[in-house]
Structures are given as structure tokens and as C-alpha cells.
Amino acid sequence: MEKRMIEVLKPGLATSVQDLGRSGYQQLGMVVAGAMDHFALQIGNILVGNRRSAAGLEVVLMGPKLRFLKDTVIAICGADLSPTIDGKTIQLWKSYRLSEGQILSFGKPVTGSYAYIAVSGGIQTPRIMGSRSTYVKAKIGGLDGQYLVKGDVLPTGDPVLGCSGRQLHPNLVPDYDKPRRIRVILGPDDKSFTKQGIRTFLTGTYKKTSRTDRMGTRLIGPKITHAKGADIISDATFPGTIQVPANGQPIILLADRQPTGGYTRIATVITEDIPRLAQIQPGKELTFEAVSLGLAHNLYMRRERMLKLLSQVGQGVHP
């Protein structure tokens, strides 16, 4: 049963309701949206007894202040934005039982950019095209298609109170501070670049700029040279598509990307590495490494098997 469970005391920078996205409608021009870090959201849902696809709250760098109106269980996964319950520091990747009236707050960002608040029972805003994900530009999903504002009250499903105290094994927790090497599959327009341009892309160091949002991230670094023009007839884009416009600086498309684009696509970030890419803070550096489609597929399947195992039998999630 749906309950009015969470009151927004402070909204944070750009806090929104997100699930795994609105798939199957790109041919109609609809953006997929969904969590920037699918892995963190899914682990959070597993820790609080939800389906992996349940909606939670995505928190960006500066978190909200929330009052819980009923007893429930929550988990914070992803970026370390210094979360506290009633002023006491809590661990990431662990579920906690909250009593009516307790307050969740956030402090300064330590590592990563996107944190996820998973709530037992899931956030129960209306589904639009099969998803609760917020897409602000079209004003759909979430609460009235907007980022949270002070005074909002979020509905949730019935909580599973017995799942508190679960914690992801430390060996499975992502390290956002390790070398930021992002693996890619070259193409589909890699022939539109000079050989030196490809070498520059794969050997250069790029910095994530402040021009970063849910649609994509702009990088700055060594100029990538085209063999032909930078423009193409508009064609499909994917999660992690790397476009290179005429200025030679890469743009990586993310959750709120447009379904098609008109810039040359030098490569695509593999699914396994999209969460790590999203978590890199503006101003930090990264490099690229070309890998095979086979390796990308194997890494994806390994991650998917792990998530299924965690959700079905609780391996790696312990009380």
C-alpha cells in the first residue's frame, strides 16, 4: 500500500526520483533518463529488500534534508556525500532502520558525484511510459516532472523492516579514487578521424569540465583531429556515446541524452564503466582505453550475474 513517507525539508542541488529508465521509446523521440549510476541504485534496492528496478532518489553533490514520517529502512549507495541520520554519520552500502521523525542529511562531497537513497518499498510516484524516472526538460516522471523542492512529500510502498543491517561486502564496493581509465569500443564513426586523432584520443589525458549534467559531460584535453568533417547525418546515440564536434573536444552522452545526434561518434563507453564515468567529479582527469566488444559483453554479463545472485540469494550481502 502506498504511504506518504518522506518530507523534503531541504531539496539539495538537483535531487530527483530515478529508476532504471524509460526504455523502448527512443524511436518516438523519448529520452530514457534513469539513474546515472545503475549499479549503485540496484545495490541500494537489494539492501532494502526491493526489486532492482525500484525507484529511489538520486542525489547530486549537495544532498537534501529529509524527514521520514513512518518507520522504514534505507540505504545510501554511490558517492560519499557525508550522510548522517539525526547528525550521526552512517556508512554507505549498508541498510539502516529509521524510526518515525528521524532526519537524513548530507554534508560535503568526499568521493563521487551521485548518491542514491534506496527506501524499502520503493518511491511510488506514478509511472509514465513504464518508468517513474524524472526527465525535467519534458516535465515527466517523479513529482510533477521536477527536481524535489522544499515541502514535497514522497509516497513509498510498504517497507520490509527486517532487512536493516545488510551490508555489501567491501570487495564489491566500487573505488571511485582508483585510476580513472575508462574503457571504450571504437566507432561507429572512427573512420571519420585521422590515425593521429585516434592515437590522441587513446593516449591523451582529458579533464571533466563543469559543463556536466544528466544529459552528458564535456571534456577538455588534446584536440582530436577529423579526417572528414565533424558533422554527420543525424544518427542513433547510446549510453556512453562519445561525440567529437569540430573543436576536437569529446562530449560523452549520458542518461538524459537525445535519441539521435549529428556529431561524429569516435567511441562508446562500455556499460561496465558508465557508473565510474558518471561518478568522476568535475575537474578530475580521465583516460580512455579501447577494448573488444567481446570483453565488454563478458564484463556486462559478469556484473549482471552478480546482481542477480545478490538479489536472489543474498550472497555478498550480509547482516
Chain segment 130-151, per-residue pLDDT in tens? 999 999 999 999 999 999 999 9
Q: Is 283 exposed, middle or buried (0-12, 13-18, 19+ CB in 10 A)?
A: exposed
Q: How far apart are CA 213 and CA 264, in angstroms?
A: 21
Question: Looking at residues 218-239, what average pLDDT do you find?
Answer: 93
Distance CA 101, CA 88 (A): 15
Please report the DSSP string for 194-207 in residue order: -HHHHHHHHH--EE
CA atoms within a 13 Å half-sphere pointing along the CA-CB vector of 256: 17
Gap between the Cα atoms of 251 and 265, Å rounded: 9
Element (H, E) at 287: strand 285-290
Beta strand 103-106 with 65-68 is antiparallel
Q: What is the CATH number of domain 181-300?
A: 2.40.100.10
How many residues make up the chain in this entry? 319
Instruction: Give tens-digit pLDDT for 160-189.
Output: 999 999 999 999 999 988 878 999 999 999
Percentage of residues of the chain with pLDDT beyond 90: 87
Is the model's pLDDT at 318 over the cut of 50?
no
pLDDT of the residue at 313: 62
User: Which pTM was predicted?
Assistant: 0.94
H or E segment to which residue 60 belongs: strand 56-60
Are the C-beta atoms of residues 173 and 182 closer than 8 Å to each other?
A: no
Domain regions of the chain by residue span: 3-168, 181-300
Looking at the DSSP bridge assignments, the partners of residue 206 are 286
C-alpha torsion sign, points 225, 231, 232, 236 = positive
- Which residue intervals of 126-252 are DSSP H helices? 195-203
